[in-house]
Structure 1
């Protein structure tokens, strides 16, 4: 426990579970993002798939898969690895007796701390992914979308969504489940 090999395993688990799963559901995410941008055109999930198929063919279902894979792999790596790091770090600060007594709060603080870092890793790829998926003609994918995005908005533009991302991720992914668990 808590060796470099342990943290590496946690990081690999995060990459696998977050990166690959999010990449797999790229078509669903693509329809969801387009429903948010243009609800008149993308009225439902099923009609959204139909619109995409008609306008872009089957290939269109996977627009944005590369930034999704990279972004969520980075998020998962940080989320899983740093969660274990912060649990130990905060437990060591608290001492054995307080660590046991305040285990839930320590785990909650560890998970929230990890998510802050994880979302910093995710945010740039998420910004490019959404633009590629929702703005027709913007870019084909990450390789042409990233430089185009940076040219238009600068590197700071990649992080415009960080505060809302934290507002969604931290409570939903960690705080509520931790508080609701027995």
Structure 2
């Protein structure tokens, strides 16, 4: 991210485009991660892929993809706009350190995107994936699935797991933006005067930010998936009860189930999102002096 302020509309356009591209490219890893976190027999990554392709073909690995692409596009747009606004609002009030600014702005951006975009799209995506592994799936796609979920559970049905999603997204964005911005500033100070950070460096820095994010926030992701599954209401009273049952019945390591596919996705995600975002912002002249 530059020291200049992003224009809100341009930031929204660049973020939304980056989010849609990232979601489509990395979706199979998200599918495998989500499947591995459901209750029941623990499934390995290869076994999930083999079973899904055997029963549904390659398109089975994209069950729920439309929901995630739509949500991810909105999520990334909201994230970048709100991050920039939080960052400059905090900078105007007090002379905070860079680390405090990025951490606080990232936390605020993550919680904002959780409420406006992530929770509904993640809930629908998770239920579609959970439904797809049944012998006779009941949802026929995004629109049908969404309408059936709302019909059966009301609007609260697509906001199930809001608390763990807010915690996860807040932590995700705080860690990711702080790591990315710190590393990018470090690289930028070592570039020749007037030369911008190359896309290859941006991709690598974004990937490192994704790696750090995965290991620090994985337990929240597992709790989120359980709370959004089709059987959540039968097993868990709330997020804390869910965490307690996982810890006492399955062990602490269960909180890191799905780490490998999520690691692959967030490393690719960090690289793709920040690279696409930076290039689109540069292309449309979306930055101005604060």
The two structures have a TM-score, normalised by structure 1, of: 0.84
Partner of 2:104: 109
Whole-angstrom CA distance in 2 between matches of 1:17 and 1:112:
20
Q: Does 1:127 align with 2:128?
A: no
Whole-angstrom CA distance in 2 between matches of 1:179 and 1:34:
29
SS of 1:25 mapped into structure 2: helix
Q: Equivalences for 1:75-154 in 2 at 5 Å?
A: 75-94=75-94, 98=95, 101-120=96-115, 121-135=117-131, 136=134, 137-154=137-154
Whole-angstrom CA distance in 2 between matches of 1:20 and 1:53:
23
Whole-angstrom CA distance in 2 between matches of 1:156 and 1:139:
18
Partner of 2:45: 45
Question: Quick one: higher RCO (CA 8 Å, sep 6+), 1 or 2?
Answer: 2
Whole-angstrom CA distance in 2 between matches of 1:162 and 1:11:
23
Partner of 1:30: 31
Q: Is the 8 A contact 2:139 2:145 kept in 1?
A: yes
Partner of 1:14: 15
Greater share of helix residues, 1 or 2? 1
Give per-residue Cα distances to partners, 1:103-156, cap 9 Å, x unaligned: 322222212111111111111011111111111313122110111111111112
Unaligned runs of 5+ in 2: 184-290
Whole-angstrom CA distance in 2 between matches of 1:72 and 1:34:
19
Provide closer, same or farther for how the CA distance between residues 67 and 176 of structure 1 changes in structure 2, counting only shifts above 3 A.
Answer: closer
Q: How many angstroms does 1:93 deviate by? A: 2.1
Whole-angstrom CA distance in 2 between matches of 1:25 and 1:179:
21
Partner of 2:155: 155
Provide closer, same or farther for how the CA distance between residues 21 and 149 of structure 1 changes in structure 2, counting only shifts above 3 A.
Answer: same
Whole-angstrom CA distance in 2 between matches of 1:127 and 1:176:
23
Provide closer, same or farther for how the CA distance between residues 28 and 107 of structure 1 changes in structure 2, counting only shifts above 3 A.
Answer: closer
The two structures have a TM-score, normalised by structure 2, of: 0.55
Q: Does 1:174 align with 2:174?
A: yes
Provide closer, same or farther for how the CA distance between residues 125 and 8 of structure 1 changes in structure 2, counting only shifts above 3 A.
Answer: same
Whole-angstrom CA distance in 2 between matches of 1:60 and 1:67:
14
Unaligned runs of 5+ in 1: none
Give per-residue Cα distances to partners, 1:21-47, cap 9 Å, x unaligned: 12222222222222222553x621111
Whole-angstrom CA distance in 2 between matches of 1:63 and 1:179:
32
Whole-angstrom CA distance in 1 between matches of 2:19 and 2:40:
28
Q: How many angstroms does 1:81 deviate by? A: 0.8
Provide closer, same or farther for how the CA distance between residues 108 and 85 of structure 1 changes in structure 2, counting only shifts above 3 A.
Answer: same
Provide closer, same or farther for how the CA distance between residues 83 and 57 of structure 1 changes in structure 2, counting only shifts above 3 A.
Answer: same
Whole-angstrom CA distance in 1 between matches of 2:61 and 2:102:
38
Query: What is the number of residues matched between the two proteins?
Result: 174
